[in-house]
Amino acid sequence: MARPILLAVDDDTSVLEAVVGDLRRKYAQEYRIVRAASGQAALDTCTQLKDRGDAVALFLSDQRMPGMTGVDFLSRAITLYPDAKRVLLTAYADTEAAIRAINTAKIHYYLNKPWDPPEEKLYPVLDDLLVSWHQGYKPPYEGLQVVGTRWGSQDHAVRDFLSRNHVSYRWLNPEAGNEAADALKARGLDDSKLPVVIFSDGTAAVQPTQMELAEKVGLKTQADNEFYDVVVVGAGPAGLAAGVYGASEGLRTLVVEPDAVGGQAGSSSRIENYLGFPQGISGDELAKRGFIQAQRLGAEFVTQRVMSIELDKQYRIVKLEDGREVSCSVVLVATGVSWCKLDVPGSDALVGAGVYYGAAQSEAAACKDEEVFVVGGANSAGQAAMNFAKYARKVTMLVRGKGLESSMSKYLIDQIAAMPNIVVETGTEITRFCGMEHLEGIELKTPRGTEYRSATSVFIFIGAAPKTHWLPEQVCRDERGFVLAGPDLKRVGIERMAGNGGAADRDPYLLETSVPGIFVAGDVRHGSVKRAASAVGEGSIAIQFVHQYLAGF
């Protein structure tokens, strides 16, 4: 950010040089020192500075100047920089005029010439004025900005992607004032197509795709090499653990993640039963630490979506969303699960416009002083309720079952019970979402009958749907799409693994799928325990089996 400006004005060259010299000795580290040889030149300079968006902290002007006096200049400068501090330099004969100017020109101080020594007669005065200016100064935001409405699904997706990837941004809502319109107009745009992302270099992207956004904010989207020992698909707890152990044990490891590291666990506001963190840790922080650790050990990460895997003898060809391919000896599937959608009227049309699947951290602050509804009774729902309770006036948990005891950890049940603005309604489910452009209400089936509630934000944490539609058909899955591995393959009658049109002569390793060289870990595996610690464990031990597989080449 550019330094604020101190502007010195005097028509006497020798006096101006002395003023500028004293200012530079004291303030050059924090401020830019600018000079002008007349009042009119100073006004022209102020206009140019204003057009560039520069801040002026203080004017220091001589009184006796031909054409325009110091008082006249300071009076006219107020319209350009009303908050800048104004100091008048006067001779003793002009003292009375300077005192009158305190009211007429609203100057903040006057100094008699000469001001030697400046350590006693100049700097203490300017120091006080500059401290006062800084207290009221709000520097212009120069980072990334998102112009979008609260209720747009694309707008929500952009904000959520940036938040989960730790990209700082400022949200400008066109419905909340003129600032968004001004930002668009300055770039020749309007609000007909939102969201618009304005980057720190001044460029803008209209309705950017996730890949376009990732590239622009500096996320890595292309792999460095064409071949790896192991490609890990997914950067949740299982994928991060595999990245740490794979890289630390000398495997050329690539981790591919389309959204953000951490998976579902990364959106948890606080995990309090993870070993080694007695005060608890947010899922976001846990994921960030795992990411840094894996990178330090040599794992490579790219923001991409895997579209398919092709089998080519002993190699696995991973096809990415941008059309590129990477080859590897082993693929570890750690894609986790997504939340199941509510199959009720109105749900699809309002996703991102008041209906959200998952914690949606980017929406938490927007729910300040509102009533928020959380659907679900497992740990993830409880953690989200606790997080939203910091902002919302009231959080209502809608639980279809009889209680929380069978699905939620005891520590979390106790915390929810102690939170005065969280209400748990059991035996209750949503039967309809109501609203046109955004959510306006919900219909509920309750033990008392059908009820209607006004609602603007509903966060859903129910069920778990595996993300496995992109896998080769040779990879066996159960009826819900979870990947079968190890002993589970035999249990369902698959005794030999199908390779690239052939078969294997050995039993599959513990976390190996029906295709040799394709392993699975974490929530996407059939029969997995849906806990972050369990996923970390599977991701780490999968690497041991990867070594055994590679040793058999």
Query: Which CATH number covers residue 176?
Result: 3.40.30.10
Query: Do 105 and 176 belong to one domain?
Result: no
Which of 51-65, 277-291, 427-441 ranks highest by mean pLDDT?
427-441
Mean pLDDT, all residues of the chain: 90
Query: Do 159 and 177 belong to one domain?
Result: yes
Residues with Cβ < 8 Å from 252, sequence gap 6 or more? 225, 227, 228, 229, 230
What is the per-residue pLDDT for 179? Answer: 87
What is the per-residue pLDDT for 399? Answer: 96
pLDDT confidence band for 326 (50 / 70 / 90): very high
Please give the tally of structural domains in the chain. Answer: 4
Query: Do 200 and 237 belong to one domain?
Result: no
pLDDT confidence band for 345 (50 / 70 / 90): very high
Under 8 Å between Cβ of 243 and 232: yes
Cα–Cα distance measured from residue 450 to residue 443, given in angstroms and rounded to the nearest whole number: 7
Residue in 417, 448, 455, 411 with CA at minimum distance from that of residue 433: 455
What is the per-residue pLDDT for 362? Answer: 64
Query: Do 408 and 456 belong to one domain?
Result: yes
Strand 85-90: give its sheet, edge to edge: 32-36, 5-9, 56-62, 85-90, 109-112
Query: Do 327 and 470 belong to one domain?
Result: yes
Domain assignment present for 221: no
Query: Do 320 and 372 belong to one domain?
Result: no
What's 63's domain CATH number?
3.40.50.2300
Q: At how many degrees (to 10) do helices 410-418 and 379-388 cross?
A: 30
Query: Do 132 and 9 belong to one domain?
Result: yes
Domain assignment present for 478: yes
Under 8 Å between Cβ of 159 and 196: no
pLDDT confidence band for 8 (50 / 70 / 90): very high
pLDDT in tens, 299-316: 999 999 999 999 998 899
State the residue range of the domain holding 191: 144-216
Boundary of a domain, candidates 401, 432, 460: 460
Domain assignment present for 10: yes
Boundary of a domain, candidates 120, 136, 152: 136
What is the per-residue pLDDT for 139? Answer: 77
What is the per-residue pLDDT for 518? Answer: 96
Cα–Cα distance measured from residue 341 to residue 461, given in angstroms and rounded to the nearest whole number: 9
Domain assignment present for 222: no
pLDDT above 50: residue 500? no
pLDDT confidence band for 470 (50 / 70 / 90): very high
pLDDT in tens, 76-94: 999 999 999 999 888 766 6
Strand partners, 145: 170, 198
pLDDT above 80: residue 503? no
Cα–Cα distance measured from residue 61 to residue 515, given in angstroms and rounded to the nearest whole number: 81
Cα–Cα distance measured from residue 180 to residue 173, given in angstroms and rounded to the nearest whole number: 6
pLDDT confidence band for 501 (50 / 70 / 90): very low
Domain assignment present for 281: yes
Please compute the mean of the pLDDT values over residues 208-218 and round it to a whole number.
Answer: 92
Domain assignment present for 203: yes
Q: Any idea which residue has 């997080």 for tokens?
A: 387
Cα–Cα distance measured from residue 463 to residue 530, given in angstroms and rounded to the nearest whole number: 11
Higher pLDDT residue, 87 or 141?
A: 87
376: phi then psi, degrees, rounded to nearest 5? 135, 160
Q: What is the enclosing helix (H) or strand (E) of 445?
A: strand 441-446
Residue count (the chain):
553
Domain assignment present for 413: yes
Task: Please state, for a pLDDT cut of 90, what percent of the chain lies above it.
Answer: 66
Distance (Å) of CA 81 to CA 64, 76, 148, 203: 22, 9, 30, 27
Question: Dihedral angle at the C-alpha atoms of 314, 318, 323, 325, nearest 10 degrees?
Answer: -50
Boundary of a domain, candidates 216, 243, 268: 216
Please compute the mean of the pLDDT values over residues 90-108 and round it to a whole number.
Answer: 73
Query: Do 124 and 206 belong to one domain?
Result: no
What's 443's domain CATH number?
3.50.50.60
pLDDT above 60: residue 495? no
What is the per-residue pLDDT for 52? Answer: 82
Please compute the mean of the pLDDT values over residues 234-241 and round it to a whole number.
Answer: 96
pLDDT above 90: residue 540? yes
CA angle at 250 for the pair 320 and 248, rounded to the nearest 5° = 95
Query: Do 32 and 109 belong to one domain?
Result: yes
What is the per-residue pLDDT for 30? Answer: 93
Number of H helices, E strands in the chain: 15, 26
What is the per-residue pLDDT for 493? Answer: 67
What pTM does this model have?
0.77
Half-sphere exposure of 154 (CA within 13 A, CB side): 14
What is the per-residue pLDDT for 93? Answer: 61
Query: Do 423 and 536 belong to one domain?
Result: no
Please compute the mean of the pLDDT values over residues 410-422 and round it to a whole number.
Answer: 95
pLDDT confidence band for 502 (50 / 70 / 90): very low
What is the per-residue pLDDT for 94? Answer: 67
Query: Do 293 and 328 belong to one domain?
Result: yes
User: What's the 3-state SS for 184-250?
Assistant: HHCCCCCCCCCCEEECCCCCEEECCCHHHHHHHCCCCCCCCCCEEEEEEECCCHHHHHHHHHHHHCC
Domain assignment present for 266: yes
pLDDT above 90: residue 103? no
Q: Out of 157-166, 351-360, 466-475, which region has the weakest mean confidence (pLDDT)? A: 351-360
Residues with Cβ < 8 Å from 485, sequence gap 6 or more? 508, 510, 511, 512, 513, 519, 520, 525, 526
pLDDT above 80: residue 328? yes
CA 77 to chain centre: 40
Query: Do 117 and 179 belong to one domain?
Result: no
Cα–Cα distance measured from residue 410 to residue 405, given in angstroms and rounded to the nearest whole number: 7
pLDDT confidence band for 332 (50 / 70 / 90): very high
Under 8 Å between Cβ of 359 and 391: no
